[in-house]
């Protein structure tokens, strides 16, 4: 680097956490004068350009209060002087689904597009690490450059990398080696040129080309009113270096002119050498993570696919409602929001948003399911008709839960509730189905049933066989009928233990609550599963911080075990005990308090026919502060590796110890999983244990002579950020008390375990992703003839449609392929479906796609990018009423299915 050839690109910007240590409206109050000033400086020519932080939601926040500024703002965006987007919100990447990241970019580009265009650089300055598939995501939206700050570990520091994802996609990744605020308060003194020179010296060892990026701005920083003229003056002082006031696009282009020597990067970025990764955010405020997974599952796995199918059959177009739900959800995906590292007021608002997402998505789902039910069931066909839905792209065989509510006559209602379960059977297409009643309750009738009368509520499990992405109709009948001999769950007890078993597993619980899981075919046992572990946590919402010389408290006190369901479809073991824990930390925070609090814990462990998962539902009331509560799952062996679900990937992490010398934060020992984590016992994965959960994203593999997998249930802390966290040699945020981050109160968790042991067939990513998806969205049931006032009678039906056009069971769309996973199915309008597939292995493959005949035959299928723009001339040929879709290794393939305009909805032939 000769002194003459150096270029300095100063990018004026601000990093705008929309909500963090102030609530949304608190920051908006500052956002308005900040953007007022930016617009004024740009309009008056004092400033030539400004980067608005890579996200669009802040623009909406501003225009919501100042709609009269929309045109002025749009003019600057169109002129390329105000850079907005491409993201809608700067999301955390590990705590949201892959689809959520795609919807975030799509929405950001849509909002920015309406205002004049999105930034061409995927700028992600602050999120806490980056997922492996980001190169493919960025490429799929037509961009080639990613800008990031956090996540580098042992890799040598360089300002330019070539980052490759598991599918082979590569992006230029520009690294902010001295952070996104290396030009913070650049104009706060007269020494601008000197500040620039010292930044050049700091960055010089890392430069991939003689180009230095100075980001003039920081968190919520308002640009200096003299920024333009004073930088012009500084330009003279730093000569012969060339000083440019520009955008990230300018930086990218100037770099290109120098052909930088990029280093290569591969896979996910989760190191913390130069900037902290803040891994404790994975477990701060776990209830937020649970609510987010519930919303994502509801939208992605139920509301979108079923409303799409109903819409194609003539139901209302759901797309505007679903977009509203996604936008609401994306507000919560901002890194300080979903990470749980904001003040309490912010997270109270997050929960309200999650509520609203659920309300919209359930509205869409209820309408769509009722519409499909009406197409499949003749009216007034009798009582107790149910329609079961399967959101999974493979046929489902197993059990579905449903509830029957019946108003009782006077004499009936006087019997003891639940004393003797009534007997039921079910009639589905084909044969009769077994039913297992699991609870019965008599209560006072309420809407829509007559008040004053008694109501019997019977919760039951029904055997089901539901086609892929389809439904079946089942009639529930009182009494027992003989059906074919099918697998059962058996259960029993001895003096020492309670046991249950299905085709796959056996579970044993000793009388003191020790749980064992046995893989039946191989006989392999995993013992002592689900041991409670509570460790002191003197940290904050960003980092777990154990106390030295303090041992964790293990196990339940006074555990009692009983068999509460005995088959034939499901058996369940109840484990009750109490957690006896210190109330919090001592006043000096150096030990746990001596005052103890004991609270009851209730686990229900269930095995169900045709389901390889041992499912667990856990409830307890947390009254202990300043601790991390985990469950330990002892392992038979480990090779120091885990396979964990991440956005569109199963990441194989090697948990070798990293030398933390010189790191700003100790390397993370806890890691994220987005639904499943498998611990192989051998490098191929022929044996091992898989853990599935929704909303429990943090795990740790603890090696040693007695290895175990630990999963965090709660991390209870009282501070947003503290200065005395030894594992982190910097502040992460202001020291503000966050009493609600202690997560006191009732908590409930759902998770599952599945053993794997096969001499010939290793566990595979596609198997894990399919099991994870099935666990996330089990089939569900609706009442096909609900009581008046309870819904579907009042839904509008498209004109020209008659009821009962579908058969009693149908798969509306089939997706078949060795390693294919359905990632998304949604409607753009009544004649357009969008389908996204993931090839979950490192080999090319194909998927066979077929629409049910009732959806009509005049369809064309076109390959698109991730934003659903057609990719050139890529219509797929129709072969025997379906399409064969080529799939790339770990590639996402998006398809647009369009019904030709010659065949509008009402002209189609009637279905079967
Ligand atoms: Zn931030």
Q: Residues 225, 226, 227, 229: what is their CA dihedral angle, to the nearest 10 degrees?
A: 150
The pLDDT value given to residue 568: 93
Contacts of 640 (CB under 8 A, 6+ apart): 654, 655, 656, 701, 703
CA of 489 to the centre of ligand 1 (A): 50
Q: How far is the CA of 334 from the centre of ligand 1 (A)?
A: 8
Q: How far is the CA of 336 from the centre of ligand 1 (A)?
A: 6
β-sheet with 490-493: strand ranges across: 490-493, 497-501, 505-510, 515-519, 525-529
Question: 180: which residues sit within 8 A by CB, 6+ positions away?
Answer: 13, 15, 125, 126, 149, 215, 218
Burial class (CB in 10 A: 0-12, 13-18, 19+), 70: middle
Secondary structure class of 192 (helix, strand, coil)? helix
Closest C-alpha to 652, from 622, 634, 676:
676
Cα–Cα nearest to 119, from 92, 98, 97, 88: 88
For helices 57-65 and 98-114, the axis angle rounded to 10 degrees is 50
Q: How far is CA 114 from CA 111, 329, 708, in A?
A: 5, 21, 52
pLDDT for residue 660: 87
Q: Which has the closest alpha carbon to 338: 41, 17, 661?
A: 17
**Span from the CA of 838 to the centroid of ligand 1 (angstroms):** 31
pLDDT confidence of residue 409: 72
| Phi and psi angles of residue 707, each rounded to the nearest 5 degrees, phi first | -70, 150
For residue 432, how far is its CA from the centre of ligand 1 (angstroms)? 57
Ligand 1 centroid to 244 CA: how many Å? 26
Q: Please state whether the predicted TM-score (pTM) of the whole model is above 0.85.
A: yes
How many residues in total does the chain contain?
912
Which H or E run includes 322? helix 319-332
User: From the CA of 38, how far away is ligand 1's center (Å)?
Assistant: 20
Distance CA 226, CA 294 (A): 48
**Ligand 1 centre distance from Cα of residue 20 (Å):** 8
Residue 802 Cα to ligand 1 middle (Å): 53
Instruction: Give the Å distance between the CA of 895 and the centre of ligand 1.
Output: 34
Interval between CA 652 and ligand 1 midpoint (Å):
28
Beta strands in 104-210 (DSSP E): 122-124, 145-148, 160-164, 170-175
CA distance 593 to 584: 5
Give burial (CB, 10 Å; 0-12/13-18/19+) of 702: middle
- What is the CA(268)–ligand 1 centre distance, in A? 20
Residues with CB under 5 A from ligand 1 (ion): 17, 126
- Give residue 481 CA to ligand 1 midpoint distance, Å: 62
The answer to whether residues 181 and 166 touch, using CB atoms and an 8 Å cutoff, is no
- Report whether 544 contacts 715 (CB < 8 A): yes
CA 217 to ligand 1 centroid distance, Å: 13
311 vs 288: CA distance, rounded Å: 32
8 Å CB contact between 711 and 630: yes
Peptide bond into 899 cis (omega under 30): no
> Ligand 1 mean position to 706 CA, how many Å?
39
Instruction: State the distance from the centre of ligand 1 to the C-alpha of 121, rounded, in angstroms.
Output: 18
How close is the Cα of 30 to the center of ligand 1, in Å? 16
Q: How far is ligand 1, taken at its centre, from the CA of residue 138, in Å? A: 20
Distance 446 CA to ligand 1 centre (A): 48
Determine the pLDDT at residue 633.
Answer: 98
Residue located via tokens 């009216």 = 379
Given CA atoms 424, 428, 430, 435 in this order, what sign does their dihedral have? negative
Determine the distance separating the centroid of ligand 1 and the alpha carbon of 631, expressed in angstroms: 31
Q: From ligand 1's centre to the CA of 55, what distance in Å? A: 11
Measured in Å, residue 215 CA sits from the centre of ligand 1 at: 15
Residue with tokens 């968190």: 219
* Contact between residue 804 and residue 378 where contact means Cβ atoms under 8 Å apart: yes
How far away, in angstroms, is 891 Cα from ligand 1 center?
A: 30
Dist. CA 124 → ligand 1 center (Å): 10
- Whole-number pLDDT of residue 801: 57
CA–centroid distance, residue 423 to ligand 1 (Å): 57
User: Residue 289 has what pLDDT?
Assistant: 98
What's the rounded Cα separation, in Å, for the pair 58 and 55?
7
Q: Which of 78, 60, 42 is nearest to 223 (CA)?
A: 42
Tell me the CA–centroid distance for residue 827 and ligand 1, in Å: 33
Ligand 1 geometric centre to CA of 543 (Å): 16
Per-10-residue mean pLDDT, the chain, length 912: 80 97 98 97 96 97 97 98 98 98 98 97 97 98 97 95 98 96 90 94 96 96 91 93 97 95 96 96 98 98 97 93 98 98 98 98 94 77 86 94 86 52 83 90 82 88 95 90 76 97 97 96 97 98 96 97 95 97 97 97 97 97 98 97 98 92 95 98 97 98 96 98 96 97 98 97 98 96 75 56 74 95 96 97 96 87 95 85 95 95 49 36
**CA 17 to ligand 1 centroid distance, Å:** 5
**How far is ligand 1, taken at its centre, from the CA of residue 123, in Å?**
12
What is the distance in A from the centroid of ligand 1 to the CA of 15? 7
CA 53 to ligand 1 centroid distance, Å: 10
């Amino acid at each position: 680097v000769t002194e003459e050839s150096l270029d300095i690109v100063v990018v004026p910007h601000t990093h705008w956490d929309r909500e963090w240590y102030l609530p949304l409206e608190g920051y908006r109050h500052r956002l308005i004068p900040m953007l007022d000033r930016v617009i004024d400086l740009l309009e008056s020519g004092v400033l030539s350009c400004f980067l608005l932080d890579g996200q669009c939601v802040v623009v909406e926040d501003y225009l919501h209060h100042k709609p009269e500024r929309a045109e002025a703002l749009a003019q600057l965006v169109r002129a390329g002087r105000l850079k907005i987007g491409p993201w809608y919100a700067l999301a955390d990447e590990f705590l949201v689904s892959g689809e959520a990241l795609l919807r975030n970019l799509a929405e950001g580009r849509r909002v920015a597009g309406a205002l004049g265009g999105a930034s061409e650089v995927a700028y992600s300055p602050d999120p806490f690490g980056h997922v492996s598939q980001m190169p493919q995501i960025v490429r799929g939206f037509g961009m080639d450059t990613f800008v990031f700050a956090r996540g580098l570990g042992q890799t040598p520091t360089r300002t330019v990398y070539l980052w490759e994802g598991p599918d082979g996609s590569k992006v230029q990744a520009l690294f902010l080696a001295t952070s996104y605020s290396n030009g913070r308060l650049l104009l706060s003194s007269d020494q601008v040129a000197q500040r620039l020179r010292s930044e050049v010296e700091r960055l010089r060892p890392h430069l991939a080309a003689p180009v230095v990026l100075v980001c003039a701005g920081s968190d919520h920083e308002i640009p200096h009113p003299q920024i333009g003229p004073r930088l012009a003056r500084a330009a003279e002082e730093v000569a012969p270096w060339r000083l440019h006031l520009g955008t990230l696009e300018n930086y990218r282009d100037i770099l290109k002119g120098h052909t930088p020597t990029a280093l290569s990067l591969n896979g996910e970025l989760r190191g913390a050498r130069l900037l902290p990764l803040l891994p404790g955010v994975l477990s701060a405020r776990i209830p937020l993570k649970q609510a987010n997974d519930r919303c994502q599952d509801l939208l992605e796995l139920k509301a979108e696919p079923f409303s799409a199918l109903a819409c194609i059959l003539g139901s209302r177009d759901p797309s505007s409602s679903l977009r509203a739900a996604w936008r609401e959800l994306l507000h919560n995906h901002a890194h300080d929001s979903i990470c749980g590292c904001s003040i309490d007021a912010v997270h109270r608002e997050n929960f309200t948003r999650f509520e609203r997402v659920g309300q919209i998505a359930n509205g869409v789902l209820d309408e769509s399911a009722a519409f499909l039910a009406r197409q499949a069931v003749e009216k007034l066909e009798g009582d107790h008709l149910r329609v079961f839905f399967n959101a999974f792209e493979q046929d489902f065989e197993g059990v579905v839960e449903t509830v029957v509510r019946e108003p009782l006559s006077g004499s009936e209602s006087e019997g003891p509730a639940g004393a003797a379960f009534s007997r039921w059977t079910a009639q589905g297409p084909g044969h009769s189905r077994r039913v297992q009643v699991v609870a019965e309750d008599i209560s006072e009738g309420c809407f829509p049933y007559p008040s004053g009368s008694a109501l019997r509520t019977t919760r039951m499990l029904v055997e089901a066989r539901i086609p892929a992405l389809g439904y079946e109709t089942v009639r529930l009948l009182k009494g027992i009928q003989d059906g074919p001999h099918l697998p059962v769950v058996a259960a029993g007890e001895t003096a020492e233990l309670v046991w249950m078993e299905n085709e796959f597993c056996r579970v044993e619980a000793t009388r003191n609550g020790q749980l064992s899981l046995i893989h039946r075919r191989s006989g392999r046992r995993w013992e002592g599963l689900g041991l409670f572990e509570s460790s002191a946590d003197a940290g904050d919402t960003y980092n777990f911080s154990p106390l030295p010389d303090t041992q964790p408290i293990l196990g339940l006190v006074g555990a009692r075990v009983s068999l509460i369901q005995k088959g034939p479809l499901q058996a369940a073991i109840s484990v009750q005990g109490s957690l006896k824990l210190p109330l919090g930390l001592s006043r000096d925070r150096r030990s746990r308090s001596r005052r103890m609090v004991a609270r009851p814990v209730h686990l229900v462990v269930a095995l169900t026919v045709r389901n390889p998962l041992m499912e667990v539902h856990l409830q307890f009331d947390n009254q202990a502060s300043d601790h991390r509560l985990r469950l330990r799952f002892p392992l038979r062996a480990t090779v120091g590796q885990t396979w964990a679900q991440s956005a569109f990937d199963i990441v194989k992490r090697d948990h070798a110890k990293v030398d933390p010398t010189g790191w700003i934060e100790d390397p993370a020992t806890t890691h994220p999983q987005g639904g499943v984590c498998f611990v192989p016992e051998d490098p191929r994965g022929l044996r091992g244990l898989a853990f599935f959960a929704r909303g429990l994203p943090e795990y740790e593999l603890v090696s040693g002579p007695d290895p175990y997998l630990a999963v965090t249930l709660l991390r209870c802390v009282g501070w947003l950020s503290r200065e005395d966290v030894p594992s982190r040699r910097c502040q992460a945020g202001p020291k503000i008390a966050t009493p609600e981050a202690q997560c006191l109160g009732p908590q409930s968790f759902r998770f599952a375990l599945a053993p794997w042991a096969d001499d010939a067939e290793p566990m595979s990513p596609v198997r894990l992703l399919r099991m994870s998806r099935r666990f996330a969205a089990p089939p569900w049931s609706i009442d096909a003839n609900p009581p008046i006032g309870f819904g579907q009678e009042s839904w509008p039906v498209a004109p020209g449609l008659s009821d009962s056009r579908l058969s009693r069971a149908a798969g509306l769309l089939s997706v078949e392929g060795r390693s294919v996973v359905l990632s998304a199915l949604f409607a753009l309008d009544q004649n357009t479906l969008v389908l996204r597939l993931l090839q979950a292995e490192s080999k090319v493959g194909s998927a066979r796609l077929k629409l049910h005949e009732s959806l009509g035959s005049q369809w064309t299928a076109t390959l698109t990018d991730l934003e659903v723009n057609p990719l050139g001339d890529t219509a797929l040929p129709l072969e025997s009423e379906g399409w064969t879709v080529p799939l790339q290794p770990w590639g996402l393939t998006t398809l647009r299915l369009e019904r030709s305009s010659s065949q509008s909805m009402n002209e189609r032939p009637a279905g079967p």
